[in-house]
Amino acid sequence: MHEARRLITSIDIDDAAGPEFNTDRRSSISALLELELTDGRRLTMLDDRGWSTSGPSGIWSYESLEGLAETARMVVGPDEPPEGRSYEEESALHWAHLAGIAQAQGVPIEAGELAVLPHDVDVSSKIRARLTR
């Protein structure tokens, strides 16, 4: 039976980046990609992703939930292909890598199955508190 329900990327303020990366003009966000199973368990797929932005004073006033969700999905991949590789090839490698991570944790899933799962983004309360729109 297929155990996978959806992918979830959880984003939060990256406190480990330090206070100099979370100011009125800069933000640093961490992203955690998990595979949620039908029994509610979550398996970590990627825990080393995130991004930083900088700009004018009040940088959070330029962010939105929709924009953050779009960026979060992009940050956890698939990545842009290097020269000499197509987007399709890069995507296939990405999903095969994630399928291998899931399989190593006991979930028998193929790359193609992972690629078509719903992918939700969970925005932390700390980020929501900073958004002004």
Backbone angles phi, psi at 56, to 5 degrees: -70, 165
Looking at residue 116, the DSSP 8-state letter turns out to be T
CA contacts within 13 A on the Cβ side of 92: 5
**In this structure, how many other beta carbons lie within 10 angstroms of the beta carbon of residue 29?**
25
Closest CA to 102 of 40, 22, 33: 33
Structural domain spans, the chain = 4-78+118-130
- Please tell me the pTM assigned to this model: 0.92
pLDDT top residue among 1 and 52: 52
Tokens representing 39? Answer: 């029994």
pLDDT greater than 80 at residue 77 = yes
% of residues, the chain, pLDDT over 70: 97
3-state helix, strand, coil in the chain (%, to 5): 40, 30, 30
40: helix, coil or strand?
coil
Residue 24 has pLDDT above 90, yes or no: no
**Helix H segments across the chain?**
65-75, 87-104, 111-115, 125-130
Q: What is the per-residue pLDDT for 1?
A: 43
